[in-house]
Amino acid sequence: MVDLLPEQTCCWQATEEIARNHFLKAGFHEIRTPLIEVTDLFARGIGEATDVVGKEMYSFLDKGDRSCTLRPEGTASVVRAVLQNGLLNKGPQRLWYGGPMFRYERPQAGRQRQFHQIGVEYIGAGNARSDAEVISLAWRLLYELGLDNLVLELNTLGSSEDREVYKSKLVSWLEAHVEEIDEESRNRVNTNPLRILDTKNTQTQAILKKAPSLMDSISDESRQRFVEVQELLEALEIPFKLNPRLVRGLDYYNHTAFEITSSQLGAQGTVCGGGRYDGLIEQLGGPPTPSIGWAIGMERLMLLLGMYAEINPKGNAGRLKKSVSPDLYLINRGLKADKFALLLAHKLRAEGLIVELDNSGASFGKQFKRADRSGSFWALIIGDEEVAQNKVKLKSMKTSSPQQDQNNSEHLYDLTDIRGLINQINHKDSTNL
Ligand code: ATP
Ligand code: MG
């Protein structure tokens, strides 16, 4: 588990803000659920046969002897909250969430034990158009963040009936080839056979080429639905690549499954994973309710933004990585200046400015160096002499032309006219000083 330091949190905040606005524009509203749930929710909502539930959960007994778990993902909690609060009575729910998730995995680049996701769930929507809308929500968000060479991989799992037909075909085939596949896959034959298609073991992958294909077991109706999703994505000008190996292992997943991947992240290439889960709400005790959602891994997103920013510092990703500098660095020294500067900082902040107040009492020269390091555009200088005259000296820290010498890059402002000072600060133009 890692700390996020101020030099990182500014990019996180900028990204989160873009995501928030993006969701708001599409009519998706935020839901915040507890970080801890009873373990049973995930056992039923994700499935005992998955790695997440089988191996990766942080579970513990609380003081009331209940088995509790730190949430490993968001969907199960969101569905629980929707059911418990009767939200479905108000019609389909367009929801988004964000925050930390916990999985006991082997930590590596792009894989942590506490990581963060932002995700959406469109609960109560069953048509192909909702698939396209939800996918485009992820695609456009990543594009808006400056990530313009990701790959959208798409597959269909068919209806739940299609899956059952395919599952039994696949299991009989696997049972006949059980000696040839890797041990992990062998263990999944009876628990989570579809997930074997997703194996990273290259030998098993080669053998699976001869296995019955999911596409051949899919009904005409499901196939037509998948075509419709693809046509809508084409209409939205969202490029995609069909990937018949892309599966979600569990019974309540059906129809569209998708991932958005990057070739720049090594083995942890999936930035966003999602799909339709028409059977989940029923599984968790609700009425049959078609739904679709996705989750983006924030750490992988941040890694990518860092790479893009390095290549193109002036692009969208570059702008996100830039830390926010103060509008003003307040240099102050002297007994009277001390208090005066504190009050002035307060006033200027109330006017919406970002003001960093030097608290060192060091020499003006040292304070100037700090002002420079702060990245601030302006320095405001207050000594006892200025206090006596109710004036402050404003100096640009970004004197661009060599002709702008010491004298014409600073200006005295009378504090009875604080508006004039604020206007000048907001202008970020020192040529008229
Ligand atoms: P993977 O195959 O990479 O383990 P997953 O199928 O377990 O992914 P999901 O449960 O679909 O992942 O979660 C959605 C997204 O959350 C992933 O695509 C990834 O970006 C991110 N994610 C999942 N697990 C982690 C982790 N341990 N650390 C960082 N990000 C993660
Ligand atoms: Mg995983």
pLDDT tens readout for residues 165-201: 998 999 999 999 999 999 989 988 988 888 898 888 8
For ligand 1, whether the C-beta of 71 sits within 6 Å is no
For ligand 1, whether the C-beta of 116 sits within 6 Å is no
For ligand 1, whether the C-beta of 327 sits within 6 Å is no
Distance CA 409, CA 320 (A): 30
CA-270 nearest atom, ligand 1: 18
pLDDT at 199: 86
CA dihedral 44, 219, 292, 50 (to 10 degrees): 30
For ligand 1, whether the C-beta of 270 sits within 6 Å is yes
* CATH class (in words) of the domain with range 6-159+219-319: alpha beta
Nearest CA to ligand 1 atom 7: 52
Ligand 1 pocket test target in 270, 296, 302 with most atoms within 8 Å of CB: 270
3-state SS, residue 284: coil
Pair 171, 193: CB distance under 8 Å: yes
Distance CA 433, CA 45 (A): 64
For ligand 1, whether the C-beta of 358 sits within 6 Å is no
pLDDT at 254: 92
CATH 3.30.930.10 maps onto the chain at: 6-159+219-319
Tens-level pLDDT at each residue, the chain (433 residues): 999 999 999 999 999 999 999 999 999 999 999 999 999 999 999 888 888 998 999 999 999 999 999 999 999 999 999 999 999 999 999 999 999 999 999 999 999 999 999 999 999 999 999 999 999 999 999 999 999 989 999 999 999 899 889 989 999 999 999 999 999 899 889 888 888 988 888 999 899 989 998 888 899 999 999 999 999 999 999 999 999 888 876 667 899 999 999 998 888 899 999 999 999 999 999 999 999 999 999 999 999 999 999 999 999 999 998 888 999 999 999 999 999 999 999 999 999 999 999 999 999 999 999 999 999 999 999 999 999 999 999 999 986 555 544 545 788 888 888 888 999 898 877 666 6
Q: What's the maximum distance between 2 C-alpha atoms anywhere in the chain? A: 93
CA neighbor of 329 nearest in space, from 280, 371, 276 = 371
pLDDT at 265: 87
pLDDT at 118: 98
CA neighbor of 21 nearest in space, from 164, 141, 135, 109 = 141
The structure's pTM equals: 0.91
pLDDT at 163: 87
Which ligand neighbours the alpha carbon of 117 most closely?
1
The helix or strand, by DSSP H or E, that contains position 351, with its residue range, turns out to be: none
For ligand 1, whether the C-beta of 262 sits within 6 Å is no
Helices 298-311, 6-25: axis angle to 10 degrees equals 100
Distance 101 CA to ligand 1 centre (A): 10
Pair 103, 56: CB distance under 8 Å: yes
Nearest CA to ligand 1 atom 20: 297
Distance 73 CA to ligand 2 centre (A): 10
Ligand 1 pocket test target in 53, 115, 262 with most atoms within 8 Å of CB: 115
pLDDT at 100: 98
Which ligand neighbours the alpha carbon of 116 most closely?
1
Distances 372 to 346, 357, 361, 396 between C-alpha atoms, Å: 21, 13, 17, 10
pLDDT at 433: 65
CA-259 nearest atom, ligand 1: 18
Nearest CA to ligand 1 atom 29: 111
Nearest CA to ligand 1 atom 11: 273
CATH 3.40.50.800 maps onto the chain at: 328-432
For ligand 1, whether the C-beta of 299 sits within 6 Å is yes
pLDDT at 250: 67
Distance 297 CA to ligand 1 centre (A): 6
Specify the pairing of strand 328-333 against strand 114-123.
unpaired
3-state SS, residue 30: strand
Specify the pairing of strand 378-383 against strand 291-297.
unpaired
CATH of 328-432, one of 3.40.50.720, 3.40.50.800, 3.30.1330.10, 1.10.530.10: 3.40.50.800
For ligand 1, whether the C-beta of 153 sits within 6 Å is no
